[in-house]
Structure formats: C-alpha cells, structure tokens
Amino acid sequence: MTEIGIDKLPTYIKIPAIQKDSMAGDGPFKASAEIQEQLGFPEEKVENWQQVAIEKMAETTSKYRSVQVFLDACVKCGACTDKCHYYLGTADPKNMPVARQDLFRSVYRRHFTFAGKYFPKLVGAKELDDAMLDDWYNYFHQCSQCRRCAVFCPYGIDTAEISMAAREVMNVIGVGQKYSNQILGRINKIGNNLGMPEPALIDTLLDLEEEIEKETGVAVKLPLDNNNAEVLMVTPSADFFAEPHIDGLIGYAKVFHQSGVTWTMSSYASEAANFGMFIGSYEVMRKGALRIRKAALDLGVSRVVVGECGHAWRVAYSFWNTLSGIGGGASDEYSLKLQKQLDSNYPQPQHIIEFTYDLIQKGILTFDKTKNDHRRVTFHDSCNVARGSNMGNIENGQFILPREVIKAACNHFSDMPKATIKASTFCCGGGGGLLTDDLIELRIKGAMPRMQALKQSQENDGVNTLAAICAICKSQFSKVLPNYDFDPYMIVSVHQLVSDALVLSDKSQTKAEDSL
Amino acid sequence: MSLTSIIFTLFCYLSLLLFVIGLSYKIIQYWQTPAPLKIPIAPAPLTRTGVLVRMAAEVFLFKSLFRASKWTWFFGWIFHWALVLLFIRHLGYFWPGDTPEVLLKTEPFKYASFPLVIGLTGLLGRRIFVDRVRYISAPSDYLMLILLIAIGASGMLMTFALYYPDMGLVYSFAEGLVTLNWSELPSELIFLAHIFLAFTLIAIFPISKLLHGPGVFFSPTLNQVDNARKRRHISSWAKKKETDKEVSIEQNSEKDG
C-alpha cells in the first residue's frame, strides 16, 4: 500500500488540493501492431498523425452532436471538478473532468474555432503536439467513462463522450491501448473477451452442472447452443471462469430452472461485454451487437436476456436497437426476421435482474432468506447501469429492481451513503477499459471514494457483503478490497445471493423438460 | 451626426450582425449534427413530458448545478436571473414610439443590478481563490466576468450614482437603431463605455463559451427520452451505411474485412 501512497481511509471524502502531474506518466501498455491490425487500425503511429487526427476530429464533431455541443458549451464553472473518483483519489488536476475534456477541447479550439485560431493564448487553445498526444494517451486512459461528472454538469456535458472520441482519434492514428484492443480482437475471432474456445466452454458448463447437482441434489442445466430454447442468455465471459462471477451464473441457471422457461447460451456469441464502446468506435461496437443478433437468429429464440455486466447492459439497453434493430424499427432482412421471431410481450433485450424480478413479483420463486442471514448486504450501483440504462421501464427502475431482488433473498440490506449511490454512484475504479494490471495504481486510488463509503456502511450497519451486477466491478473489487483492509471475498454477484437463498424444486425441472 | 455617433451606430449594427449570423450558424450546426446513440444521463425521463420538465428544471432552476455546488449555483443563479430582469428593463429604451405600460412598470428591475454584480463577483472570486477552478480558467474566462461586471457597474453608476446621461438622447439613439432613424448618442464617457461593452458582449456571443445558452437545449444527455428499447433511434449517417451496404448476417465473422 505504501508504495502506492494511500494512507488510512478518511472518515469523509476530502476534496484534495491539486497536485500537478501526480499521475503523469506513459499510460497503459500500447497495442502491438498485430492487435491494431486485427481491428483495422494502423499498426503503428502514422507519419502524418497530426493531420489524420485533426481530420478525424472534424469527422467526429460532424457525426456526434454530443461532442460538438459539449466542446462549445463548457463555461468552466467548476461544478464537475470534485466529482471524479480519479481526481478525488489522485489529486492530479488533469483528472478533473473539465480539465480532461480540455485536453481535447484546447486542440478543438485551436483548429476549429475563430477565437482559438487567432487568439490561442486568450482562450487556452493548444496545438496537438507530441506532449499533448502523450497527455491524451495518459489521461484519456484515466477516465472510466462512468459519467458521474455529467450528472452534475449544468449542461449535461459527458466526459465519457469526449474520452471515447479521443480514444478513437488515437486508434485511427495508430496509437491504441493494448488491453481493450486485444480483447476486441479476441471477441471478433473467438466470440468472447477471454478467448475461451467452444470445447472449454462446454467443459466448464458441464462441470458447473455437476457441482450444482452435488450441492443441491437437483439437476440444474446450463444449456449451450440449444435450438429449442425460448431465451438466449448473453452474459459476460467472466461469468464462466472467475470468482465471484461464476456463482452469479449458477444463480441465473437456478432462476431459469425454477421459472420453467427454457434457455440457452451461445458458443458463437458467448460474450455480453462490448469494449467497442470504450474505444468510441461505432463500427466495432456494432460488430459485437450483430454477433449477438446472429446467435439469436440461428438459435431461433424468442427472448434475449443479458447477464450481470454494467457496460454490456448500457450497450444492450441503449444501443442494441440502434446498432442491430433488435427492438424493432429497422428494415434490413435480418432485423425483420428478428422482429418476427422475438416475443413482443417482453422488452428486448431484458436484464437478468428484470427477469428474476418479474418471477418474484409473480410469486414463482421461493426464498429461504435465512440462508443469507450471515450477510449484511449493501449494493454497489455500477456506473453504466445506474447512469446509462433503465430496468423495468419505470422511472429509476435500474436502482429499484436490483435492490428489490436482493431484499427478496436477504434479510439484512442497507444502502451506502446517499451521495455515493444511485445516479451519484462512485465508479469501482476499473471501468471503461482500465481493468488491467498496468493501471493498478490508478485502479487502487480511483477506488478510494467507493471504499470510503463502504467503510462508513461497515461501521454504521455492519455491512460485510458488497453486491454488484457488473463483471468489471466484481473483478476490480476482488483486487482492490484488500488494499483498503476489506475482505476480498465480500464482493458477490446479486445472483449469488439469489442462488444461495432460492429454494429449488425438481418439479419445475420436469415441467421444463416437458416443454422441450 | 458626430463621428462618435456614426462609429457607435455602425458598431452596434456590426455586433448584431455578428450575433445573428454567428448564432444562426451555430444553431443550424447543432441542429444538423446527428446524435447517433441514445445517451440520456440519469435520472433520465422515460417520456417527452419528462424531458420538458427536466429541461425546465435545468434552464430555470439550474438543478444539476444546485446538486453540484451550492456556492456556484447561488452566484450563477442570481446573476442569470438578474440579467434577465435587466434585459427586460432595457427593452423600453429600444421600443419604437410610446413605451408600453407594462415596460414602464419595470422600473424596480434596476435593483437587479445588485444581485448581478454580487453574483458575478462571487463567480470571479471562486475562479481566483478555488485552486481547482483557477486551474481550469483561461484568460478569456476571467475577461468574460470582468466584461460583465464592467457592464453592470457602468450601468449602476449611471442609475444610482447620478452620472445620468441625457435620457432623451438615450431614447432617441436606442429607438433610432430599431427604426433606422439614427440620431446622436449621449457623449458621456460612462454611457459610451456601457454601450461599447454591451455590444462587444453581443458580438462575441457566437464565438465564445456564451454558446452554453443555445447549447444546453441541444445537449443529448439532457434532451433525449430514455426509450431506446421501445423506439429505434438511428442517425442519418448510420442509416445510410446500413442501407448502402449489402447486409450480410456473417458481416461480423472473420471473413468480413
């Protein structure tokens, strides 16, 4: 801990005085030529990179109203300056949302505005030189695109939009980030972020089925590529192998088992996550969405349900209909086929939390809440779910439904301090393509505000369990909790809580088989 | 007409011209730039009515800013509302012919200049004394506040400190600008400064951060309805790409370039 330089957790979140360049550096590892090539980006920094970058900026501002308006509208009021967890954790002024945007905005002003062209000093316009590009690479990879700043901005300026735009400009000139781009290469090639091939997936699922049967005596299935299923379940691939994610997957399986609704996963689209969003590429993001559309068409399912993954749910909820026409309104051949195939009685796609919540409302699931009595549970609102999506089609449903599911399965639930949850939730510190060991210092420091809130809940309510519905949050917390003297195993999937308390019956199993 | 009057008259028209052309250009630009994805920010309204309520709360109450920083909200909010009142107060000068009854009743609005200057001074103070805000401030950010304070202060000197200009000339000059019946303007320096600064502000509106005014209405995070699952939202350029290219179900496989 000392080498990273974190003292004991403060009792309240102090707004630090700025410490210039405290997080200066080279940024995360850069993508190799091979990785860049897989995504169709230049293999190395192109010769005329400045020109290419400026042209790309012009294209971006003409295609994205968000970027164009956000670059113009900021008045530097300072409302966002103390809202970013990375600023609170590092005190580097370039981690203040407005200062991060200004790295991009100053170049925009220099090249695209009257004032910046003729009076650069007056309005803080700057050239995109080597030093600026280094700052871009370093500080746009210190943004988890969590959008907390946008909640507080009087104009709704969303730093994530700027950070995505900047990352795309960098990719186009051949300066990519290794972690995100490598993962995108894998999903395009193999179908999931881990690069887990089909045979390994089959083995994993069989092992899990055995494990569940041994533990519960009930034959709960985890079907793969089943052509007769109603539901296609798309989940982050971390659910297949990592703790605590895998217990969440077991939870989904048990819920489906009890529901009697037939389901399947797909070996072709074995990934809900879509890092195309992190690198700001509409095209790459669309590819990921089309992969899932193809799986849904091939398997002939009538519903698509998404597992516990934060940004995946934002992409699925907010973008899938745009990218692949899953919800209707698109007119190409495959969209039309999909629209005919999917059951319009359900929102498409649905979140597993919505699915489970519906079953709870209908009284289909029975819980033995005492199974979770050793737990004092709190819930971490994952940023992309909290600020970029909805559940249940009711106002603020994305905050209500997960809590209701937890309360159905647990007797002891309490929330963390109000300023750190729901729309104001603090990022785990590892989102937006930063969940890599080469950024571990940033990840630990950026987790500080969330850890501080957790500490308060631990002291006030005896909280010993932190539940989340995001694969990145779960991995990040497992890693950083010990740095703040917490038990790394206190982070669980919401569906692990469901899994532990759900009363299984063999009856619904036969019902499910009958319906096959 | 004196040379000063001619120069000032031309300057006023030039400012207005820059304002109208520049602002139209920006508004058309914002209007025509597509928002390719649904990105409303929480707490996001699920209906169009909800969006109108949200927008009203932002525009009239500065709701997000209130949550973010009470001091910035207080100074900013009183300044903006004072500006609105003073704008209304000034309409009477430009009104051709007899000033309508209702505008005559706006006399007490002159006291809005106090919250105006207090708000601006507070904002300037934050910019100077809060290290985070100082860090993000460019010279233009200070100048904008100083410009506004100078406009307010010069107006207050004329109204409250008895540096009255010849009000008859003020009316005929201002009315003349509207009716194209140009006339001599008062020669008091303080009046000339007031007019010059105010029209400078108008001129730089479209090339400065004052664009936050129209910008807020075009902000996709604030003005979008959160209904992506129900209604397909697609931009013109994405739609074009979709229809131009033969759609292949395999277009995401390896074979696809």
The pLDDT score that the predictor gives to residue A508 is 46
Q: A349 and A207 in one domain?
A: yes
Q: How many domains does chain A have?
A: 3
Q: Is A56 helix (H, G, I), strand (E, B) or coil?
A: helix
Quick check: is B109 in a domain? Answer: yes
Q: A203 and A163 in one domain?
A: no
Find the CATH number of the domain harbouring A164. Answer: 1.10.1060
CA distance to partner chain B, nearest, from residue A63 (Å): 6
User: What is the percent of chain A where pLDDT is above 70?
Assistant: 96
Residue A316 to residue A327: CA distance in whole angstroms: 10
Quick check: is A10 in a domain? Answer: no
Q: Nearest Cβ partner of A317 from B139, B228, B249?
A: B228
Whether A413 and A379 have beta carbons less than 8 Å apart is answered as yes
Q: Is A456 helix (H, G, I), strand (E, B) or coil?
A: helix
Return left, alpha or beta for A325; rule: phi > 0 is left, psi -120 to 50 is alpha, else beta. left
Chain B contact for A109, CB < 8 A? no
CA distance to partner chain B, nearest, from residue A206 (Å): 27
Above 60 in pLDDT, residue A171?
Answer: yes
Chain A contact for B47, CB < 8 A? no
Q: Is A378 helix (H, G, I), strand (E, B) or coil?
A: strand
Q: Reduced to 3 DSSP states, what percent helix, strand and coil does chain A have, rounded to the nearest 5? A: 55, 5, 40
Q: What is the ipTM of this complex?
A: 0.95
Q: Is A304 helix (H, G, I), strand (E, B) or coil?
A: strand
Please, what is the average pLDDT of chain A?
A: 94
Find the CATH number of the domain harbouring B124. Answer: 1.20.950.20
Q: A325 and A439 in one domain?
A: no
Return left, alpha or beta for A124; rule: phi > 0 is left, psi -120 to 50 is alpha, else beta. left
Question: How much is the average pLDDT of A445-457?
Answer: 96
Above 50 in pLDDT, residue A182?
Answer: yes
The pLDDT score that the predictor gives to residue B255 is 38
Token reading at A179: 């972690």
Within chain B, what is the greatest distance between any pair of CA atoms?
81
Question: How much is the average pLDDT of B90-116?
Answer: 93
Q: Do A66 and B216 touch (CB under 8 A)?
A: no
Residue A159 to residue A149: CA distance in whole angstroms: 7
Res. B97 pLDDT band, cuts 50 70 90? confident
CA distance to partner chain B, nearest, from residue A62 (Å): 6
Burial classification of residue A457, based on how many CB atoms lie within 10 Å of its CB (0-12 exposed, 13-18 middle, 19 or more buried): buried
Question: How much is the average pLDDT of A203-231?
Answer: 96
Q: Do A328 and B141 touch (CB under 8 A)?
A: no
Domain span including residue A472: 364-501
DSSP-assigned beta bridge partners for residue A224: A265
Residue A73 to residue A64: CA distance in whole angstroms: 14
Q: A335 and A205 in one domain?
A: yes
Residue B219 to residue A347: CA distance in whole angstroms: 27
* pLDDT tens digits, one per residue of A230-269: 999 999 999 998 889 999 999 999 999 999 999 999 999 9
Res. B197 pLDDT band, cuts 50 70 90? very high
Res. A509 pLDDT band, cuts 50 70 90? very low
Quick check: is B236 in a domain? Answer: no
Q: How many domains does chain B have?
A: 1
**How, if at all, do strands A465-468 and A377-379 pair?**
parallel
Q: What is the value of pTM for the model shown?
A: 0.95
Token reading at B201: 């502000």
Quick check: is A20 in a domain? Answer: no
Whether A477 and A491 have beta carbons less than 8 Å apart is answered as yes
Chain B contact for A115, CB < 8 A? yes
Above 70 in pLDDT, residue B252?
Answer: no
The pLDDT score that the predictor gives to residue A14 is 85
Above 60 in pLDDT, residue A412?
Answer: yes
Q: Nearest Cβ partner of A72 from B65, B131, B211?
A: B211
Domain span including residue B208: 3-24+69-212
* pLDDT tens digits, one per residue of A363-402: 999 999 999 999 999 999 999 999 999 999 999 999 999 9
Q: Do B212 and A318 touch (CB under 8 A)?
A: no
Q: Which residues of B57-83 are buried (b: 16+ CB within 10 A; e: fewer)?
A: ebeeebebbbbbbeebbbbbbbbbbbb
Quick check: is B87 in a domain? Answer: yes
CA distance to partner chain B, nearest, from residue A94 (Å): 9
Above 90 in pLDDT, residue A514?
Answer: no
Token reading at A260: 């009697």
Mutate to test the interface with B, among A18, A62, A69 (most CBs of B within 10 A): A69
- The least confident of A35-39, A228-232, A415-419, B249-253 is B249-253
Q: Nearest Cβ partner of B30 from A65, A288, A325?
A: A65
